[in-house]
């Protein structure tokens, strides 16, 4: 990943922010909002892994990324939408017209991403202060 003067974690934070912008748009289909919420969380998780100077798997599977974070001693906060549910929005529902469950609200999606972002930013700040 060529990032110029930015670290890989910084680039991932910027790209996650772009996905978050889509969550605040109006008139967007649920599947698109859900996809961008999953993508934002995925990038935030990868940013935290990168902040540990560790490499991450090229996967959309949030549960595998959470396991990688656990291996680094990181634990994500509880969120309105569970990672396992959010994980389905990466691919499964992207190509399915019928949701197997009630779609989360835009507010729940935004809150979930917000909680993860705030946690990741705090952890990256703490890591950058570690001698």
Is-contact 120 45, C-beta < 8 A? yes
Rounded to 5°, the CA angle 83-84-88 comes to 105
The Cα–Cα gap between 84 and 71 comes to 18
- Is the pLDDT at 1 greater than 60? The verdict is no
Does residue 47 sit within a domain? Answer: yes
Residue 17 sits in a domain whose CATH number is 1.20.120.330
Model confidence at 38, pLDDT cuts 50, 70, 90, reads very high
Does residue 2 sit within a domain? Answer: no
pLDDT tens digits for range 81-129: 999 999 888 776 666 655 556 778 899 999 999 999 999 999 999 998 8
The range of the structural domain enclosing residue 38 comes to 8-129
Does residue 15 sit within a domain? Answer: yes
Does residue 83 sit within a domain? Answer: yes
**What is the structure's pLDDT at 31?**
84
Does residue 88 sit within a domain? Answer: yes
Domain total of the chain = 1
Model confidence at 74, pLDDT cuts 50, 70, 90, reads very high
Does residue 81 sit within a domain? Answer: yes
Per DSSP, helices labelled H in the chain are 8-23, 30-51, 62-71, 83-87, 106-129
Does residue 3 sit within a domain? Answer: no
pLDDT tens digits for range 2-34: 556 889 999 999 999 999 999 999 998 888 899
């Amino acid at each position: 990943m060529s990032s110029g003067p930015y670290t890989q974690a910084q680039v991932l934070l910027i790209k996650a922010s772009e996905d978050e912008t889509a969550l605040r748009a109006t008139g967007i289909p649920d599947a698109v909002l859900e996809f961008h919420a999953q993508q934002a969380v995925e990038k935030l998780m990868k940013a935290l892994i990168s902040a540990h100077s560790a490499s991450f798997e090229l996967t959309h599977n949030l549960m595998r990324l959470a396991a990688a974070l656990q291996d680094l001693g990181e634990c994500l906060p509880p969120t309105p939408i569970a990672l396992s549910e959010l994980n389905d929005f990466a691919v499964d529902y992207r190509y399915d017209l019928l949701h197997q469950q009630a779609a989360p609200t835009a507010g729940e999606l935004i809150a979930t991403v917000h909680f993860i972002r705030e946690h990741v930013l705090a952890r990256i700040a703490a890591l950058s202060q570690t001698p």
